[in-house]
Structures are given as C-alpha cells and as structure tokens.
Structure 1
Amino acid sequence: MSHLPQLILLDLDGTLYIGNQPIPGAIAALAQLRERGIALRFITNTTTKSQDELVAQLRVMGFQLHADELISAAVAATLELRNLQQQAARPLRIWPLVADAIKTDFTEFIWDEKKPDYIVLGDIGDRWDLHLINRLFNVMHSGAELIALHKGRFWQTSEGLKADIGFFVAGLEYVSSKTARIMGKPNRDFYRLVLDSTKVKAENALMVGDDIDSDVGGAQLIGIKGCLVKTGKFRQVYFEQSDIKPDYVIGSVAELLTAIA
C-alpha cells in the first residue's frame, strides 16, 4: 500500500483477542493506528452478546473505542428488517432464534414462531436438536424466509475449533430450496454498511482478520484490501489450499502498522 488506509476494519475474536485475553501487542497497535489518524471500525459476526456487551468486553480488556465504532451482524439484521418492513408496508412477523443476550435487538418487530415472515437465525449454542430443525424446515416450507446473522464455517475457542452456524444455515437452505439472506461477513452489503458509516471508499480501506473466507475474501469482493493474521482460527494448511490471496499476511495485529507503512 503506497499510503496508509483512511479506514481499518478489525475483526474481534481471534484477531484482537482470544477468550478474554488480548492478543499480545494488540492494544498498543490500535493506539498507534489512531495516532496516525486512521479511522477504526470493529466488526463482528459474534451473535451471543449485544452490542453494548461487546463494547464493554473490549473496554475491560483495555481496548479504547466509541460505541458507534462497533458494528455487529445483529445491528445489520435490524436495519435489513426495517427496510423489508418498509417495503412490505405492514408490520413484519419474525422468529428470532438467537441468543437471549441479543433478543432485545429485535423487539420492534412482532414475534411469531408459527407463521413468521422471516426466521432470524444466530448462535444458539446447544439448543440445536432434530425437533428444532424440523420446526424450522416446516415453517420455511410454509413460506418463511431465512435471515442468517452469518454463515461462518468454524471458529476458534479456548478448547479448539468448533463448527459454526453455517452448518445449520447451509442445511436449511438445502432442505427448503431457499437461499438465506446473510447479514454478517462476508456479505457485501455488510461491508458497504460499514463503509457508508465512515464515508470512506473501498479502495481506501483495509480489513484485518483471522478468517480468510469471511474477513479477507468478503472484503476483497467489494474492493477492500485484506490482511490475514496468523492468530485465532488461522491454519496454515487451510490458508495454502484457499484460492483467496490476502494483500497482507502477518503474524498478528501487533505487526499491522509495520506491514502497511
């Protein structure tokens, strides 16, 4: 990059921290970026915590940020539902199958598990079972559309890699012959939403994350450069097999300024 980006988009879990532990050097690295006048946006597919909880979690770990600098997939879904409701010219009925922590994000809509217009699907942990899958299938077969807060394949935990909700989203798409609306990364509209919030053009932005598919690949789809960090879910074999070519590959976010300067 011949000049520093005006905007840097940062993934959270696996990029800035793992569990409740900041990646070594991450806090200082972000402070250096701010000193250079670079705008920051924290973007995440995490759907088990509300926006306020995520901001508080980052601050407790020592990161400095304003609440409006964090944009989550749940926020994007709320905006999308408002647009759909406006187009429908009537109140929308939704089934918010999401973590309890973010259910309050959807209280402006009518909740209906029997005949919803849209199922809003997020992370629900161990609540998945065959009975629930069949309920969802039948509701979709009767006309409901699916909004997925993201379609992640897997994620890094303190206990190792775990399959993500993309497993269930893809399965529901297959059995219903429908295509879900994906709200979080790598959705193009999600990245455009972030760019619009800053008035920065794609070519002047950089995405930094540990997921070569949704972080780097998703950003590159709309012209944002992508930087892959070798922390979190990064796996060398998966990286080598991918068709996606990051603009930068660094050991961790601590090396970011050195790499792009």
Structure 2
Amino acid sequence: MLLDLDGVVYVGDQPVPGAVEVVDWLVREGIPHLFLTNTTSRPRQAVVDKLAGLGVSSAAEQVLTPAVAAVAWLRRHGITRPAVFAPEATAAEFVELDPLQDDVEHGAGAVVIGDLGEGWTFTTLNRALRLLMSDPATPLVALGMTRYWRAEDGLRLDAGAFVRALEYAAGRTAVVAGKPDPTFFGSAVEALHVPADQVVMVGDDIHTDIAGAQRAGLTGVLVRTGKFSASDLEGDVRPHAVLDSLADLPRWWALR
C-alpha cells in the first residue's frame, strides 16, 4: 500500500478522520506500506515528526520524497553543484552534492525546482532560467509535477506550475523526481519488495496520484478528501475505486 499524505492522511495540520486507525490497521495486518509525498517544503524527518504529532508512527525509511529521489538520480549521474530552488530544510537534503550559492547565475550542475511557495518572485524564477540558458547541458530536475494543493486557506500553486514555465522558456524537458513519474512509483514498489500489480496507491489527485500510479502498473484508489473535486470523475482517468476517505480503505480491501 502506498499512501499519499496531504489530503489523504491529513489536511493541513489535522488528520483525516479515521486515518490514524487505518495506518494502525495496516500495521496489524502486516500490509507493507509507504508514505509518498510530493512535498518539498520539509525533509523526511520533518514528515515523520509531523505524522508522530498526529498519532501516526513511521520511520524515515517509510517516507519517499522527491528530494530523496532527486539526490539519488544526481548521484547516479555524477552531477554535483546543483542550484536548488526549494525551502531551506529541503535544500539541506542536497548538501552532500555541494549546492550552488543562491546568488550565482552560472555553473550549475543541475537546476532543481521544488515548492518555494510565496518565496517565488520574478527574480528567483528568472535566475533559474538564466542558469539553464547558460549551459544547454544543464538538466532541469523537478521535485514533482503537482499543479496545486489545498492549504487551510484554499488552493495554492505547487512546483509543477513553475517547472512548466521553465520548460517552456528554456525549451527543456524536466527530469521528474516525484509523482507522477513512473520511476518514482517504481522506486516505491521496489522498496516494498512486491510486484507492481499487487500495490495500491491511495491519493486525492486524479492526475498526479491516480493516473501516475496506473501508468506504473499500480491500482489507483481516489479519495474524496483533500483536493478532490467532482469533476475529477468526468475526465479520461478512471480510478480503480473511489472512496469517501481513507477510513473506508479496510472495507474496500476486504471486498476487492
């Protein structure tokens, strides 16, 4: 079982009713599970700490984030000196790769784009463009392609919108180190040590969670919490199941 976090296990700082009990059920039943998130606003340990504060027990090894996947990809390709556009806590995940200083506009081994939220300005986004245009070989690495997410005050743009802007401006195609890229889901499946067709992905995003998981050969279960909208069921993506919330997962599991 793969569980998205924001919108599925919790919304903002509040757990989805019944979610804590469902995670306890997964543990009792011995069902291998991981938490998948496209968040780039906090490192893995911060995610573990947040879950603990909500009553959900987990370990860092059970949380797969885009930053972890991106560092592994950069390391495999021998790339150092990345320019990281992400919150400070997430950028710290890249310290082993000797990241570029924030005021430098050339010489980046890669340009890594995460969710800076209100930290995005024209100057910041333009610096990312200049770094890409200074060397055609510099890869653009996206920490996920989520278009938006639901905060307590409403919808907010996520990293995907800024990645698309840079792809268009620089004529570059991003390497995606998060959902919905099949490689990201493949890394999760590999960590569970089971075949992809035996893995269920539970998410609230019809495109990033469900379509992405299905392209990777997983079962996609959509929940009506978080960013879910009734219009999600009118498009081309067809979830394998639609649940009111994560709390309904054990019943669906028993009947499937």
The more displaced of 106-115 and 53-62 is 106-115
The residue that corresponds to 2:148 in the other structure is: 154
Residue segments in structure 1 that go unaligned for 5+ positions in a row: 1-7, 86-90
Equivalent position of 1:88 in the other structure: none
Q: Take 2:51 and 2:164, find their aligned partners in 1: how far apart are those partners?
A: 31
Distance in 2 (CA, whole Å) between partners of 1:117 and 1:256 is 43
Query: Which residue is equivalent to 1:4?
Result: none
Cα distance in 2 between the residues matched to 1:139 and 1:32: 48
Q: Matched residue of 2:27: which SS?
A: helix
Residue in structure 2 matching 1:79, options 28, 49, 72: 72
* AA of the residue aligned to 1:36: E
AA matched with 2:177: M
Partner of 1:5: none
Distance (Å, rounded) in 2 between the aligned partners of 1:136 and 1:98? 12
State the SS of the aligned residue for 2:216: coil
Match of 1:42, SS state, is strand
167, 171, 186: which is aligned to 1:177? Answer: 171
* CA drift at 1:174: 0.5
Coordinate RMSD, CA, aligned: 1.2
Instruction: Deviation per CA, 1:14-47: give whole Å up to 9, x if none.
Output: 0000111110011111212222221110010011
Q: Which amino acid aligns with 1:225?
A: T
- The equivalent residue for 1:167 is 161
Q: Structure 1 residue 74: deviation in Å?
A: 0.8
**Equivalent residue for 1:199?**
193
Query: Which residue does the alignment assign to 2:132?
Result: 140
Partner of 1:33: 26
Which of 90, 101, 107 matches 2:89?
101
Q: Counterpart of 1:125 in structure 2: which amino acid?
A: G
Q: Look up the equivalent residue of 1:146 and give its one-letter code.
A: L
Q: Does 1:65 align with 2:55?
A: no
CA distance in 1, matches of 2:144, 2:188: 16
Share of identical aligned residues, percent?
Answer: 36
SS, match of residue 234 in structure 1: coil
The range that moved more, 178-187 or 133-142, is 133-142
- 1: distance between equivalents of 2:169 and 2:178? 22
SS at match of 2:77: helix
Cα deviation, 1:112-146, whole Å, max 9, x if unaligned, reads 23210201111112122222222221221122221
Quote the Cα distance in structure 2 between the aligned partners of 1:134 and 1:37. Answer: 49
**How far off is 1:260 after superposition?**
2.0
- Asked whether the equivalents of residues 37 and 66 of structure 2 are also in contact (C-alpha less than 8 Å), the reply is yes
Deviations 1:177-212 (A, max 9, x none): 100111111111101111111211101100001011
1:111 positional shift: 2.3
Letter in 2 for 1:77: A
Deviation at 1:110, TM superposition (A): 2.6
CA distance in 2, matches of 1:244, 1:210: 13
> Under a length normalisation based on structure 2, what TM-score does the superposition of the two structures give?
0.94
Asked whether 1:110 is paired with 2:87, we answer: no
Distance 2:68 2:153 in 1: 28
Distance (whole Å) between structure 2 residues aligned to residue 156 and residue 103 of structure 1:
23
| Counterpart residue identity of residue 81, structure 2 | R
Bigger relative contact order, structure 1 or 2 (CA pairs below 8 A, ≥6 apart) = 1
**Could you say what secondary structure the match of 2:58 adopts?**
coil
Asked if 1:208 is matched to 2:202, the reply is yes
Match of 1:116, SS state, is: coil
Given candidates 113, 120, 131, the residue that maps to 1:128 is: 120
Aligned mates of 1:260, 1:14 — CA distance in 2: 20
Question: How far, CA to CA, are the matches of 1:76 and 1:165 in structure 2?
Answer: 16
Q: Deviations over 1:43-67 (max 9, x none)?
A: 1001101110100100110012222
